[in-house]
């Protein structure tokens, strides 16, 4: 049976189901117990599982992420809540030097089955230190898996897969999507990592979009349909592993592509995916691969300025029209 629930509820359900299934799973982070996080995503879990498995930590991100790494190495399966994705800068040593490398440096004797769940996304008026989308930072590090759900359905299936994975996984949820609803089965399901989702089939251009930008791409595709342009929309679901084959196959069919991501455009996800398309589908391209990301500036607090920094459906649709018409690409 399928019902419509919010992305917030989907994450909550996924974690609760995995904690019931496996007593080694526990949850820790700032305000995860009594407050249920500032976004109330984890509300009620402490009532069922108690403060020994839903643990409020001090305001010390390096400390509690380091504790999670140690717990994972010694038999537990921690889920670490990092209140804002911007705080990743504080835990890069624990995550990238310890969690990511332990399996390799121990000759395969140790694993670090931990999940670090955090968020991304601008346009919430949270200013430059609470509005960043930093998924490219951790996707760059070998040994970490990176998932980016784009709906409630994706959030639940990817979270359950992440918790069961033997590797450290960083999962990014868009903070503006917590109240968005989508059909989610009541029955258990998992979404495998490295399997992209083709949300809409098309023939003229491929739109590869991550997380919050999936909705942007879908709206752009609807607008393009009115102009007689058929856009294919692909959600990679995970950056690591990346389903390169599905993306390349689509671009070989459509001969044009735009990659859309809310991270900064420079040296980011759009550049990596565009590069792979250019390498694997070059002779099928009728137009240069286009990239659309967040403006390369600190995210402004001003609503009028902040809204200009991230891709919009209108901007994506216009870029697609130029590509289909074969007009000279913008120099950016």
Structural contact between residues 269 and 96, judged by C-beta atoms closer than 8 angstroms: no
For CA atoms 206, 207, 209, 215, give the dihedral sign: negative
258/35 Cα distance (integer angstroms): 40
293/284 Cα distance (integer angstroms): 24
- Residues 6 or more apart from 302 whose CB is under 8 A from it? none
pLDDT at residue 176, as a whole number: 94
Q: Identify the helix (H) or strand (E) that includes residue 27.
A: strand 25-29
Structural contact between residues 180 and 3, judged by C-beta atoms closer than 8 angstroms: no
Q: Catalytic annotation on 284?
A: no
Mean pLDDT along residues 251-267: 97
For 154-172, write each residue's pLDDT tens digit.
999 999 999 999 999 999 9
Mean pLDDT along residues 198-211: 98
With 90 as the cut, is the pLDDT of residue 328 above it?
no
With 60 as the cut, is the pLDDT of residue 137 above it?
yes
Confidence category of residue 329, pLDDT binned at 50, 70, 90: low
Q: Catalytic annotation on 130?
A: yes
With 70 as the cut, is the pLDDT of residue 331 above it?
no
Catalytic residue among 61, 262, 272, 306: 61
With 60 as the cut, is the pLDDT of residue 332 above it?
no
With 80 as the cut, is the pLDDT of residue 255 above it?
yes
Domains and CATH numbers, the chain: 2-185 (3.40.50.970), 197-325 (3.40.50.920)
160/118 Cα distance (integer angstroms): 15
Whole-number average pLDDT of the chain: 96
CA 134-138-141 angle, to 5 degrees, is: 150
Catalytic residue among 130, 135, 154, 173: 130
């Amino acid at each position: 049976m399928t019902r419509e629930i919010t992305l917030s509820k989907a994450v909550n359900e996924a974690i609760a189901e995995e904690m019931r299934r496996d007593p080694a799973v526990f949850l820790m982070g700032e305000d995860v117990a009594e407050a249920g996080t500032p976004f109330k995503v984890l509300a009620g879990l402490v009532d069922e599982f108690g403060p020994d498995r839903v643990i409020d930590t001090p305001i010390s991100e390096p400390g509690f992420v380091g504790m999670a790494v140690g717990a994972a190495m010694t038999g537990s399966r921690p889920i670490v809540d990092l209140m804002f994705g911007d705080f990743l800068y504080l835990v890069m040593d624990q995550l990238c030097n310890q969690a990511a490398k332990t399996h390799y440096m121990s000759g395969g004797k140790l694993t670090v089955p931990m999940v670090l769940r955090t968020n991304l996304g601008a346009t919430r008026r949270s200013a430059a230190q609470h509005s960043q989308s930093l998924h490219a930072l951790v996707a760059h590090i070998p040994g970490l898996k990176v998932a980016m759900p784009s709906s409630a359905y994706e959030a639940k299936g990817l979270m359950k897969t992440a918790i069961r994975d033997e590797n450290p996984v960083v999962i990014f949820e868009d903070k503006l999507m917590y109240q968005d609803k989508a059909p989610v089965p009541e029955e258990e399901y998992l979404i495998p990592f490295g399997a992209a989702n083709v949300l809409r089939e098309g023939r003229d251009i491929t739109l590869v979009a991550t997380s919050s930008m999936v909705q942007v791409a879908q709206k752009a595709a609807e607008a393009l349909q009115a102009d007689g342009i058929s856009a294919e929309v692909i959600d990679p679901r995970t950056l690591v592993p990346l389903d390169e084959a599905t993306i390349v196959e689509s671009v070989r069919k459509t001969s044009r592509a735009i990659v859309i991501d809310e991270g900064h455009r420079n040296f980011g996800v759009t550049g990596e995916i565009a590069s792979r398309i250019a390498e694997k589908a070059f002779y099928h391209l009728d137009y240069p691969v286009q990239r659309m990301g967040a403006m390369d500036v600190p995210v402004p607090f001003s609503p009028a300025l902040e809204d200009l920094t991230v891709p919009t459906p209108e901007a994506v649709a216009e870029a697609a029209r130029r590509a289909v018409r074969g007009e000279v690409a913008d120099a950016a």
